[in-house]
A = this chain, B = another copy of it.
Amino acid sequence: MANAEKAVSADRRDVRRQQLIEATISVIGRKGYAGTRLADVASQAKVSYGVVGFYFRTKEDLLLATLQWLADEYTSVWREAVEKAGPSPVARLRAIIDADFSPRIASEKKIAVWYAFWAEGRTRPKYRNLCAQLYNDYHWQVRTIVEEIIEQGGHEDIDAHQVTVAINAMTDGMWLDLQIQPRDFDREEAKKAIEMFLGKVFPAEFGNS
C-alpha cells in the first residue's frame, strides 16, 4: 500500500537524517566549526559523501538542522525535568540545574558544539534567532520559578530578574569552564557552586551544603 510505503521510507529518511546530525555533532566537537567538512561528516556517519547532499541540500541546511536538534533536545530535557519535579518551586529549580549538568546535556562534545554555534551566531541571524528563542524560554521558566520561591518565602526584597540572570550566567559560565578546563573542573563541582549561590540567596529553601 502507498501509505505503508511512505511510512517506511519516511522512517528511513529520519534515521539517516538523525545519523547525519549526530555525526555532525561529533565532527564539530572533534574538529571545531571552522574545521568541519562534509566529507568528515559522511565518513563519521559511515555513509558516502553524496548521501549528505541527498538528505540536506546544503551544508548550511545540515548545520541548521543540527542546531535545531540540539535546541529541541535541550528544551525537552529541562521541560521534562521540571514536570517530574512536582509542584515545589525549590525542587523544580534544582531539577533544571540538574538537567543543565546532566551527562546527556553537558557532555564535553555538546558543550563544544553549543559554543561553536554561539560564536558563529553573531554573524548568522538564523543561528542567533534560534539561540535567542531557546534562551528566552529557559529564562522565562527559571524566572517564574524564582518568583514562586520569593512569593512563597516572603522574600519580597529579592529581585527575581537579577537572580534569574545570575543563575543563567553561572550556568553558561560553568559550561565555559568545563570546556576550557575539563580536567580541573567537573559537572558536580559546577552544580555545587550554583547550589552555594542559591543557598546565599534563599537560605531557608536551599540548605547549607
Contacts and interface: CB of A to CB of B under 8 A. Distances in A.
B165 A118 contact: no
Q: How many copies does the complex hold?
A: 2
B177 A169 contact: yes
A142 B44 CA distance: 42
Main secondary structure of the interface of A (DSSP, over half): helix
Interface in A124-182: 124, 128, 131-132, 135, 159, 162-163, 165-166, 168-174, 176-177, 179-181
A81 interface: no
Given A166-B170, A170-B173, A123 B180 contact: no
28 contacts: A30-B123, A32-B119, A32-B123, A33-B33, A33-B34, A33-B119, A34-B120, A112-B122, A115-B118, A116-B119, A118-B119, A119-B120, A121-B180, A128-B180, A131-B180, A132-B180, A135-B180, A162-B196, A165-B174, A165-B177, A165-B193, A168-B173, A169-B173, A169-B174, A169-B176, A172-B172, A197-B200, A200-B200
Interface of A: 29-35, 112, 115-116, 118-124, 128, 131-132, 135, 159, 162-163, 165-166, 168-174, 176-177, 179-181, 185, 189-190, 192-194, 196-197, 200-201
